[in-house]
Amino acid sequence: MFRFILRRLLQMVLAFFGTTLIVYALMFAGQGDPIQALAGERPVTAAQRAYLTQKYHLDQTGVGGFFYRYLDYVKNLLQGDLGQSLTGRQIGDILQQAWPVTVRLALIALAVAIVFGVTAGVIAGIRRAGIFDNSTLVLTLLVLGIPTIVLAPLAQYFLGVKWQLFPPTAGTQPSFYALLLPGIVLGSLSLATALRLTRTSVAENLRADYVRTARSKGLVKRRIVSVHVLRNSLIPVVTFLGVELGNLMSGAIITEGVFNIPGVGFNLFRGIRTEDGPLVVGIVSVLVVVYLISNLVVDVLYAVLDPRIRYE
């Protein structure tokens, strides 16, 4: 196990720098005039342009200039400095304010997916082809068929404005209750996927040979499901939820925009819209670390859930 973790850590380093290099190249290769994009329609004086160009090394052009800026970024990154956005703010300060909000929102969405999705999936898998199973399959198809860009405004209008069950917007310092509706909206797709994945996994394991052996030994159905079937069925679910945690943190752009949540996704969208390359690369770098750590934790949990899995 130690060798496996060490090997994965080395792979994580390569994946991190490879991903940031690709994102850095994509962000700056198609960049027009970031200084004018930042100013919008306001004119930029020659002195301001010269200062910003020198400050962000925009005077370095071509392939050599690109690698010069990237290596300078990596050097600062290794020192814990994410750099400055084109607005002059430290990216670390922006993430320090936005990250706790996004983490709370993602945890609410993940909790909704685990509590309701996994629980309903287990029940649907045990009662396969029943009324509950067929109903959940239809509902999950409806949820999966509605994109977040449609679901979020609908939930905001009906549950926040018309019926006033939740605050329609979260505000600058959202409370748990203000993040509850956005968390449900954000976790709805994860809930539907987790439900269907759990249902399929449970149904397959109930037909396995070890289940028939357990029944022949006289074990009650409740013990078979809770001790044997559920443990083996959770392996693909844990994989999905571990990766989905990173998706929830980075994929909350629409949800945070609709509900006015000042999180990581909102700042990432703002950086893309204003062509703020340092801000986009800095946020993506942090999200890549979240992805890599989540995948490492998931792989380690495999051995906990299934002792047959061994890493050499």
Kindly tell me if the per-residue pLDDT of 11 is higher than 60: yes
Structural contact between residues 195 and 139, judged by C-beta atoms closer than 8 angstroms: no
Higher-pLDDT residue of 37 and 67 is 67
Q: How far is CA 5 from CA 11, 13, 78, 263, in A?
A: 10, 12, 22, 32
What local confidence, expressed as pLDDT, does residue 180 receive?
93
Residue 184 CB: number of other CB atoms within 10 A? 19
Report which residue type is found at 16: F
Highest mean pLDDT among 93-97, 208-212, 231-235: 93-97
Contacts of residue 17, Cβ cutoff 8 Å, sequence gap at least 6: 74
31 band by pLDDT with thresholds 50, 70 and 90: low
Gap between the Cα atoms of 25 and 19, Å rounded:
10
Structural contact between residues 100 and 291, judged by C-beta atoms closer than 8 angstroms: no
Helix-then-strand count for the chain, H and E: 15, 0
Which class for 205: exposed (0-12), middle (13-18), buried (19 or more C-beta within 10 A)?
buried
Residue-wise pLDDT for 158-170, tens only, equals 999 999 899 998 8
Gap between the Cα atoms of 28 and 275, Å rounded:
9
Maximal CA-CA distance, the chain: 85
Residue-wise pLDDT for 81-133, tens only, equals 888 887 778 999 999 999 899 989 999 999 999 999 999 999 999 888 889 99
Gap between the Cα atoms of 312 and 310, Å rounded:
7
* Average pLDDT of the residues in 152-160: 92
